[in-house]
Homo-oligomer: A and B are copies of this chain.
């Protein structure tokens, strides 16, 4: 089997100045890895013709993927550089112009002269039409290598990769069969998982690899099998899954593209149940997570962000006496919030969050990171205390994980 190698070139002064984190190249690497294409090197260079040219000339791989340096303005010079390097000239592409006109008319605007220049493309590349943005991608073939240039805006790059680049790469290269299976766990430390599955992990055959991918209170376990025969490889992966799952079943909320909010949504749909949210410290994030899913209106009726005590009382009916006796961050308040939102919104489940998100507002009795979550259903209401971190954003995220995972376990009868 022949290995296929790729290199990723990220263009943009903002990367070199440290003004943004380069998440594009991580996403691209992960996609290439899924196809069995190995990334040899990543290079980030600035917005100068010399730097971009140097990176392109240095690239050793079979596939060179470039992002950034494409757009309607003067700092965008990749297109001209590539055209000259590969010896072409700019021509007007009617398809790109039509796409530009369509995008602009959707926004009630006309195509300016500056924008019209984006419809000029090198005549020595395949144009990769970009349905979600004005700059097209470009696919050059030269000296047995493929060079692809895409805009740096993440959602445009992702759209082009998924719809234009990956299908063409699959067609052109005969990469080995690679099968990934992701097991997604929540609320369990990496070291606990590792202890539980160590014997199984050590006995894996060499063509099946395991990786631990921790992120935001979740640990994803990724099995990667490499081979030639897809059916056989799939059977082998299934056999390994059958061995490992009984060891970790209760921590697993889903597989592959599942996200906790998606799994909860699907369980609610399947069981014909509905939910409402009463949020204080998460400030709308739980509702946002649930409504990121298309079709969320089938199970999510709505919610309250009760940030002030007044709103907790007037819009949720939390009792003044409860707030006075126990404070907003308390078991009692969390329970009233969950029970009340369930009643007022007429749903099967009510969930609530109240805590000290930080960085300020902590006290010895209620330090930053102390959070109460509550879950109400027809049988009553329960609350749980979490002690999280000192990071506001992380606390919001971890609280969301915990409360949604609780709903999942309730729906699954765990």
In the assembled complex, which residues on chain B have CB atoms less than 8 Å from the CB atom of A182?
19
Q: Are A213 and B19 in contact (CB under 8 A)?
A: yes
A51 to chain B, nearest CB (A): 7
Q: What is the bound-complex CA distance between A213 and B297, given in angstroms?
A: 35
Task: Name A288's contact: one of B26, B38, B284 (CB within 8 Å).
Answer: B284
In the assembled complex, which residues on chain B have CB atoms less than 8 Å from the CB atom of A297?
307-308
Q: Are A191 and B73 in contact (CB under 8 A)?
A: yes
Q: Are A213 and B302 in contact (CB under 8 A)?
A: no
> Does residue A319 face the partner (Cβ distance < 8 Å to B)?
no
Chain A, 384-409, contact with B by CB distance < 8 Å: what is the 0/1 string?
00010101111010000000000000
> Does residue A378 face the partner (Cβ distance < 8 Å to B)?
no
Q: Which of A105-113, A164-172, A229-237, A264-272 contacts B (4 or more CB under 8 A)?
A: A105-113
Q: Are B307 and A284 in contact (CB under 8 A)?
A: no
User: Which 3 A-B pairs give the minimum distances between C-beta atoms?
Assistant: A283-B291, A284-B287, A18-B29
A7 to chain B, nearest CB (A): 10
> Does residue A314 face the partner (Cβ distance < 8 Å to B)?
yes
Q: 7 more A-B contacts (CB under 8 A) besides A40-B46, A155-B394? A: A13-B224, A43-B43, A73-B191, A287-B305, A311-B345, A314-B344, A314-B346
In the assembled complex, which residues on chain B have CB atoms less than 8 Å from the CB atom of A27?
18
> Does residue A97 face the partner (Cβ distance < 8 Å to B)?
no
Protomer copies: 2
Task: Name A212's contact: one of B75, B189, B211, B294 (CB within 8 Å).
Answer: B75
Q: Are B155 and A391 in contact (CB under 8 A)?
A: yes
- Could you name 16 residue pairs across A and B whose Cβ atoms are closer than 8 Å? A13-B211, A17-B30, A18-B31, A22-B25, A43-B44, A106-B389, A115-B191, A155-B393, A283-B287, A284-B291, A287-B287, A288-B288, A302-B311, A302-B315, A310-B346, A314-B345
Chain A, 39-63, contact with B by CB distance < 8 Å: what is the 0/1 string?
1111111110001000100100000
> Does residue A207 face the partner (Cβ distance < 8 Å to B)?
no
A208 to chain B, nearest CB (A): 13
> Does residue A137 face the partner (Cβ distance < 8 Å to B)?
no
Chain A, 299-313, contact with B by CB distance < 8 Å: what is the 0/1 string?
011111111101100
> Does residue A150 face the partner (Cβ distance < 8 Å to B)?
no
In the assembled complex, which residues on chain B have CB atoms less than 8 Å from the CB atom of A211?
13-14, 17, 19, 47, 75
In the assembled complex, which residues on chain B have CB atoms less than 8 Å from the CB atom of A348?
none
> Does residue A33 face the partner (Cβ distance < 8 Å to B)?
yes
Q: Are A38 and B26 in contact (CB under 8 A)?
A: no
> Does residue A262 face the partner (Cβ distance < 8 Å to B)?
no
> Does residue A252 face the partner (Cβ distance < 8 Å to B)?
no
Q: What is the bound-complex CA distance between A14 and B44, given in angstroms?
A: 17
In the assembled complex, which residues on chain B have CB atoms less than 8 Å from the CB atom of A290?
283
> Does residue A214 face the partner (Cβ distance < 8 Å to B)?
yes
> Does residue A324 face the partner (Cβ distance < 8 Å to B)?
no
Q: What is the bound-complex CA distance between A192 and B108, given in angstroms?
A: 13
- A283-B288 contact in complex given A18-B27, A21-B23, A195-B112, C-beta closer than 8 Å: yes
Q: What is the bound-complex CA distance between A39 and B307, given in angstroms?
A: 44
> Does residue A136 face the partner (Cβ distance < 8 Å to B)?
no
In the assembled complex, which residues on chain B have CB atoms less than 8 Å from the CB atom of A14?
211, 213, 222
Q: Are A114 and B75 in contact (CB under 8 A)?
A: no
In the assembled complex, which residues on chain B have CB atoms less than 8 Å from the CB atom of A215?
153
> Does residue A28 face the partner (Cβ distance < 8 Å to B)?
yes
Task: Name A72's contact: one of B39, B190, B304 (CB within 8 Å).
Answer: B190
Q: Are B23 and A38 in contact (CB under 8 A)?
A: no
Q: What is the bound-complex CA distance between A306 and B277, given in angstroms?
A: 11
